[in-house]
Each structure stands twice: as structure tokens, then as C-alpha cells.
Structure 1
Amino acid sequence: MEISLGAARRRRATANGLQMTGHPRTARTGARALLASALAVVVAATLAGCQVAAPQAAVPEVVDGGVRLVDATLVDDPKGHVGPSTAVLAESAIPVPDVVPEPALPVTLTDMQGTEVTVTDTSRILALDVYGTTSRIVYELGLGDSLVGRDASSSFPEVGGLPLVTQSGHDLNAEAILALSPTLIITDTSLGPWDVVLQMRDAGIPVVVVDSERSLENVDTIIDQVATAVGLPEEGAALAERSAAQIDAKIAEIAAIAPQDPAERLRVAFLYVRGQAGVYYMFGTDSGADTLITALGATDVATEIGWTGMRPLNDEGLVSAAPDLVLVMTKGLESTGGVDGLLDAIPALQSTPAGENRRVVDMSDDEILSYGPGTADVLDALAVALYAPGASTP
């Protein structure tokens, strides 16, 4: 049976009710973010100069143990809170099926680039992208034991001991990949160089390219595509449905505690910073960060001022946006020397409510924009950091 991932995506988008009026996701419709490919450009231009290659078998440090939103004590005035916070997952362990599923193989599909691929063996899988999303999906589908390597963003402990195939930042290493003898590679266009992907195909390895878009709107789409590639479409549909329901429930939970008056909502800006490379971006509409901020019951100030995509930060744009709080990736914040370094590096930030109150919220680079089965937990951790900041760091 031949399957088109693009067609599957369209069918899923219709079936899961994203366009339904009044559905909890309606506010997110129309912001189909092209985050992966765009952010990959930023990563390619910056990480090479500021990220040290990880040891081959290094186990990533994953912080969890945070307080769940339901158990957190909310602050009376989120806008007036002073001081930084770190969003911490309450639990990082990944749930897996009780019984390892049996993939229905072979499967022939047409991937997101229009390439026909036949998958006959899923015993040795590499699932690679700049966010660690695809490896998480493979693991949660129950095929974790089939993963033979990882990318630098796959930071969950269950795969932490696997060899890296992106040994310099997020660059694919052909020799490292071939040494693992994969029978299937699942990837997208967020990693490169693309010649390495073509080299793997020339070597006879089935390579399935899935959607590079990452947003709250297409979590189920990515799950479906990965599940199709490994011959587990029914299991993928169940995981996608469960993940979508968890996300919608979490958004409703957050909406119940967030200010109802738009004027009282936290004004949030998402900044991508790499201090060692002198790179400072603000993410706006169609960046992926906009849907995240909206789901947190906050106002995306970049979208409000007409900021589209991800663009180099400028003083005028930041001051006019007047954020109460800025979201950053943890490694990005560390690269500037912490909150003090960030304020020194971006003097205009000091003239905003966020800067005046040192209201900076950071979260792991590998979690905050990963948009996978764990998205509801990411939203939960961020909501605690926004509305119960004293409980966010264990």
C-alpha cells in the first residue's frame, strides 16, 4: 500500500477538527509556523561558533522535578513579579506501551519532498531533527530499542547513552551515521548538510523526510508521519489523538487561571539569543513561538507590533513591544552570562517592564519548541514559570 505523507497530513488536519469554530485551537489556526526550516538557518549561522561538540556517549543533563500547575501556588500579580524563573518539567520520563508493537511492513510512502520510499526494516532507526521531536515520537510509539543513535537535541535520558551523529552542533556526520548501519532514517530539513542525506540514500538506506514545520497546530501531523514511516499507523493515530487531547486540556487549564481581560494578560516576547556569536532574534507571527505564547494565555507582543517570522532584534522594535516577560532558551541565556549579561547585551531590554523587573523565563533548548507528544508538559512547566514563578525551579 502506498501512502502520501502530504495527503495524510491534509486528511489528519481535516479529521482532527482544527478548523472547527469554537474549538480550543481556533486561535492557533492560520499560524502554521515554518519554524524548523527558518530556525535551521539561524542555527547554521550561529551554533557552529558557539556550541562545543558533545562526547560520543555523553548522557544529556535533563532537569525535571518541577511543580505541576495544578499543585502550584499562583502569584497575585504575574505582571508585577520581580526576578527570573526557569521552566522545569514535572516529569521527563517517557511513557511507552506495555507491549512492544509489531510494525506492519513493508510500507511504501511518498514523503514530504515527494520521494517514494519503501521501508522494510525498522530494527535500526535514526530519527533526527533539530528539536529531538522525531526520536521522542519513535520512543513513545514503543520502538525505543530500535533507536541506534541520536541528534544533539534528543536529550531525554532514555536515549542519552546512544552515540551522536551530529557531533558538531547540529551538523549531520556521514561517517557516524554509516557506522551505525541504520535500516531507516527519519529526518526533516532542519538538519544538514543536505548532501549527507543524499549520500545516505545513495548508500541504499531508506530516508523518510517528514514535515519540518513545528507548531501547536501540527503535533498530531508529525506523529502520524513518523508512525507511518515505521509501520505503526494505528498506534500513531492513537498517540496523536491522545497528545492533541492533552494539549487542549492543558490550554483550557491555563485559560482558567490566566487573566480574562486582555489588558491584564502578560505581554511576552520570545528571544533567540546566542551571546558568543552576537546573535539576537525576536520571534513573531508564524515563528512557532506565537502559538506557544497564545496557548499560555499571554499576548505575543511581536505579533502585536506586526513582527513576522524571526528577525534580528532592534532596539526600537523591542522597546515598542514593551514585554512584561521574555522567554529564552536556557543555553541561549547561559551564552550571554545569565540575566545580567542579557541585560548588558541588549540595553534596550532594560527600558521594558521585563528588563526593569528582570522577568526572564528560560527553558531547555531541547524542550521549549519541540512540539511533540510531550507538548502538554512543556506548556504546564511554562505556565508555572509565568503564573507561579516561585514554584518553577526545584
Structure 2
Amino acid sequence: MRKGFSIIGITCALALAGCGGTGSETADDTSTEATGSELSVPLPEGWSQIGGTSDFSAIEAAPKLPTNVTDGTGTEVKIKDIDKIIVAGDGIASTLGALGLTDNIEAAPENSIAPEGIDAPQHFEFGKNTGVEGLLAMNGTLFIGDNTQRHGDVAGQFRDAGTDAVVMDDQQPQRDKLKAVASYVGAAEAGEELAKTVDNQLADAAKTAKESGKQGLSIVEVTATGAGGQNSVAGTGTPGNEIIETLGYTSVGAESNLRGYSREFSNEGIVASAPDVIVMTESDYEKWGGEDGLWKAFPTLDQTPAGQNSAIFVMPDAQLKYSSPEIGAGAQALAEAVAKLP
């Protein structure tokens, strides 16, 4: 594994575009054929669209309320009603979907890409320039945040207004994120089952990666919609980073001490990190408009071993980008795809 490199930019003058402020199936049920949406922009020669499959239909939560929980901020909350849940992100929405609780989702962000979020009855925009008044007006019975730094104060305002609210710890392992969400809706047992399913898939994927002899490779995940909706590199706390490290590869973002989806990278740093593989989601690829848009967003990425060798994989968003139970299937798909590289 490579050690000691960094893609963090020293100043914004060096940074790339966007610098600024911030029952279940067994592992054998997953294939690496592309199972995501049909891309509107054709892939360049040598690039691959990959993905796995999962079936959570046998997992069905039986919520027991009220339930007392301690959320990711260390706050003790008594949750009494989950009929109208306001979810802060796609990971929360997809986990509720896997638990059979899609119909309990009342509101989700307007930029949702998870089907469960897209189909929510109400949508909202939340950012630095918007407050929680609009969220409170949606008359939800429970708010679930997905980032302790971003949603801690929001949850507090919900509770002050008499609405239960919790925040998931975004830096914990994926299995714990799934279990946390399940516990918030009084379905801890279903959460354990869901986590076990994903653990089995991740273990199977790690075995494939080890047997391939390719664990010395480094992988970078890039996105068009990271911090502040800008071009970013995935670091610690992101599902993609967890997949990469679980498989035994070197994560460029983690090695560069990036947290979440970060814009703190530079042209020089991208070249120095010399990733062997590039991964991105389908929505990112389409937002960039294809290959030219990617190279414009990251001008030196095509000079890296991954760019020169077209070792580039496009994956379903649920299997790479957000904290979905689908990341187990994504890990299996990535391990098998990397194993086939020359």
C-alpha cells in the first residue's frame, strides 16, 4: 500500500473547481453485472458500469414503541411516533425502505436520489441559507438526521418544538448506521438482521479481493455532488471509503485525511496520489456529462495510472455513495471488477 501521499490542497489557488467552505439474501445472491439505471451518456471504451443485486424482502420490521435511544450526538430521546418521518438523506430513506417502512417516510430532501426519498409525499431544501421552520411546518412526528455536525442543532430545535428528533453518527461503520436507524424506529431486531446481511456480503467481497492479489491497489472515489454540491473526493465516513478499506485497498481520500465528501484537494495532489482505480456513481457521471466533464472537474486525473489505463468504474448510487444497505452488493461488484483488471 502507498503511504504518505496527500491530495489536500494548501490554498484555494491550488484547488480544483469548487474550492471553498465546506429474510435476507446470502452473499451468493450478488452478481457483478450492471444493475443500475441505463446511462444517458455512453461510457468511453475501457470504462465499465458495474453493480450487484440484493433482496431484503424477507426483512420486515415490527416497530415497538415507545423506545428510548441514545443518538449519535449522545442525546437520550424517547421516540413515540414514527408515522411521519422526516429523513435528512438517502441513507436514512434507503434503510427504512429495506426495513419495509417506506410508507412511514413523510419528507425527504428535494435532491434525493434514493427511490424511497424521491417518492416521499413532501420534499424540502435545507442549507446554510434556510432554517428549520419549513421542516417543522411539515408536521412530521420524527426527524432523523444523518450528520452529527450538520444536524445536531436541527434536531435540538425539533425537540424544543415538541417533535422527536435523532441524529445518526455519520462516522461509524455501515453496519452500525443500519442498526442505529432501525433502533430509532423501534426495530432493533430487524436492524441486526439487516446488518448481518450486509456484513456477510462485505466479508464475501473481502475474500474475493484478497484472493485476487490486487489489494495493493489504491482507489479514489470522486463525485460531482459532494460538499456544497461541488466536485469532491470521498474520505472517511463515506460508504465508498468503507467499501474500499474493507476490501483491503488503499483509499486515496482516507490517506489524505479527508472527512466526508471534501473539496480540499489539488491538481498536484491528485497526480501525486497516483490512484490505480477511479470509482464514481451513475448520477455523478451523468451530471458531468461523460468523460470530458470528469476531466474538466479533475484536470489531472487523466494523468494518473487509473486514467491512463481506463481503470474506471461507474456504480449505482445506492451501492457506493450513500449509506444504503446496498453497499454490500456494491462491494462484491467492485471486488470482482478489480480482480479482472490486467
- Normalization by structure 1: what TM-score? 0.63
Query: Which one of 239, 247, 251 corresponds to residue 202 of structure 2?
Result: 247
Q: Counterpart in 2 of 1:321?
A: 273
Query: Which one of 329, 333, 339 corresponds to residue 377 of structure 1?
Result: 329
CA–CA distance in structure 2, aligned partners of residues 86 and 44 of structure 1: 31
Q: Which amino acid aligns with 1:292?
A: I
Cα displacement (A) at 1:146: 1.9
Cα displacement (A) at 1:207: 0.4
CA–CA distance in structure 1, aligned partners of residues 186 and 307 of structure 2: 50
Q: Counterpart in 2 of 1:293?
A: 244
Cα contact 1:243–1:376 (8 A) shared by 2: yes
Q: Which runs of 5+ in 1 are unaligned?
A: 1-26, 28-41, 47-66, 73-80, 390-394
CA–CA distance in structure 2, aligned partners of residues 192 and 250 of structure 1: 32
Q: Counterpart in 2 of 1:59?
A: none
User: When the two structures are aligned, how many residues end up with a matched partner?
Assistant: 306
**Alpha carbons of structure 1 residues 145 and 172: separation in structure 2 relative to 1, 3 Å:** farther
Correspondence 1:229 to 2:184: yes
Query: Which one of 203, 207, 211 corresponds to residue 169 of structure 2?
Result: 211
Cα contact 1:151–1:166 (8 A) shared by 2: yes
Correspondence 1:347 to 2:277: no
Correspondence 1:87 to 2:87: no
| More helix per residue | 1
**Alpha carbons of structure 1 residues 353 and 156: separation in structure 2 relative to 1, 3 Å:** same
Cα contact 1:339–1:358 (8 A) shared by 2: no
Cα displacement (A) at 1:376: 0.9
Cα displacement (A) at 1:293: 2.0
**Alpha carbons of structure 1 residues 240 and 159: separation in structure 2 relative to 1, 3 Å:** same
Q: Which runs of 5+ in 2 are unaligned?
A: 2-17, 23-29, 36-43
Cα displacement (A) at 1:231: 1.6
Cα displacement (A) at 1:302: 5.5
What are the residue-to-residue correspondences of 1:34-183 with 2, within 5 Å? 68-69=31-32, 83-90=46-53, 94-97=56-59, 101=62, 103-129=63-89, 132-152=90-110, 154-158=112-116, 160-167=118-125, 174=132, 177-183=135-141
**Alpha carbons of structure 1 residues 292 and 178: separation in structure 2 relative to 1, 3 Å:** same
**Alpha carbons of structure 1 residues 189 and 157: separation in structure 2 relative to 1, 3 Å:** closer
Q: Which amino acid aligns with 1:85?
A: S
1:139-161 deviations in whole A, cap 9, x for unaligned? 32233322222235653435532
CA–CA distance in structure 2, aligned partners of residues 172 and 227 of structure 1: 29
CA–CA distance in structure 1, aligned partners of residues 310 and 222 of structure 2: 14
Cα displacement (A) at 1:109: 2.8
Q: Counterpart in 2 of 1:64?
A: none
Cα contact 2:217–2:249 (8 A) shared by 1: yes
**Alpha carbons of structure 1 residues 372 and 156: separation in structure 2 relative to 1, 3 Å:** closer
Cα contact 2:32–2:332 (8 A) shared by 1: yes
Q: Counterpart in 2 of 1:238?
A: 193
CA–CA distance in structure 1, aligned partners of residues 151 and 72 of structure 2: 18
SS at match of 2:123: coil
Q: Counterpart in 1 of 2:14?
A: none
Cα displacement (A) at 1:284: 5.1
Cα contact 2:209–2:336 (8 A) shared by 1: no
Q: Which amino acid aligns with 2:67?
A: V
Cα displacement (A) at 1:105: 2.0
**Alpha carbons of structure 1 residues 165 and 358: separation in structure 2 relative to 1, 3 Å:** same
Cα contact 2:33–2:51 (8 A) shared by 1: no
CA–CA distance in structure 2, aligned partners of residues 284 and 161 of structure 1: 29
Q: Which amino acid aligns with 2:256?
A: W
Structure 1 stretch displaced more, 309-318 or 150-159: 150-159
Q: Which amino acid aligns with 1:97?
A: I
1:94-113 deviations in whole A, cap 9, x for unaligned? 52536x62x22222233222
Q: Which amino acid aligns with 2:121?
A: P
Cα displacement (A) at 1:235: 2.5
Correspondence 1:268 to 2:222: no
Structure 1 stretch displaced more, 377-386 or 186-195: 186-195
**Alpha carbons of structure 1 residues 90 and 330: separation in structure 2 relative to 1, 3 Å:** same
**Alpha carbons of structure 1 residues 70 and 170: separation in structure 2 relative to 1, 3 Å:** farther
- Normalization by structure 2: what TM-score? 0.72
Cα displacement (A) at 1:70: 8.8
Cα contact 1:171–1:191 (8 A) shared by 2: no
CA–CA distance in structure 2, aligned partners of residues 219 and 267 of structure 1: 21
CA–CA distance in structure 2, aligned partners of residues 127 and 167 of structure 1: 12
CA–CA distance in structure 1, aligned partners of residues 139 and 317 of structure 2: 29
